[in-house]
Amino acid sequence: MLYLGRPQSHRWVATVFASPREIFATAEQVSALPPFSFRVVDDRTAEVVQELANGFFGQWTRVKRPRTRIRISCRPSVQGTEVTMTSEGQRSATIRAVNLLRILTRGERDRATVYRYRRISPGPCTLVQSWAGTGYPLFLGPDYSSGRGLPVLPASPLTALEQVGRWVHVRAGLGDQAQAGWIEADQLVSDPVPARQGAA
């Protein structure tokens, strides 16, 4: 195989607003273009690996032991998702890793992307309409690994109590039937007209 330049190794750590599943989806779309491919290691780790390399005469050849790769590890936290990214091998891995990190870290300040930071003020709110008819099971804690409660619908009475990072602590329902839980901020919108009892 024809490798140009010295192997490089870099490491970055950042906290981003996107969830691990969104990070992996973006990594696959942005960084896993040929000659790289995307591999899922487990639910919190993935790799972008160079599987093809240029030979001496310019032909593409499959790499038996890839040395150029990007490893992405995600750890959910109260502030968001802590991403640890390492690149090894050729400069191409470093370039792709930096581009991916730039997209993820700038996204929450870009109002045109789904990764934007969404602030939900305390008070009446509602689920986005995509949950109509199916319901959103409340998280019991501000973490994807926590248990789930009963589902709420966009027309269900919902009150935001406080926001912690990408999570909003809410009270769903009225009176003795009310339940507390956590919902992702990007699944909520502030509602100046509180929903009535019941859901359609």
Single-letter amino acid, residue 140:
L
pLDDT at residue 112 in the model: 53
Domains of the chain: 8-107 (3.30.530.20), 123-190 (2.30.30)
pLDDT at residue 6 in the model: 67
Instruction: Rank 15-24, 127-136, 160-169, 182-191 by mean pLDDT and report only the highest.
Output: 160-169
pLDDT band at 39 (very low <50, low <70, confident <90, very high): confident
Average pLDDT over the chain reads: 81
Name the residue with higher pLDDT: 70 or 80. 70
pLDDT band at 87 (very low <50, low <70, confident <90, very high): very high
Q: Compute the average pLDDT of residues 44-49.
A: 91
Q: Compute the average pLDDT of residues 174-181.
A: 85
pLDDT above 70: residue 106? yes
Asked if residues 105 and 60 have their Cβ atoms less than 8 Å apart, the reply is no
pLDDT above 50: residue 194? yes
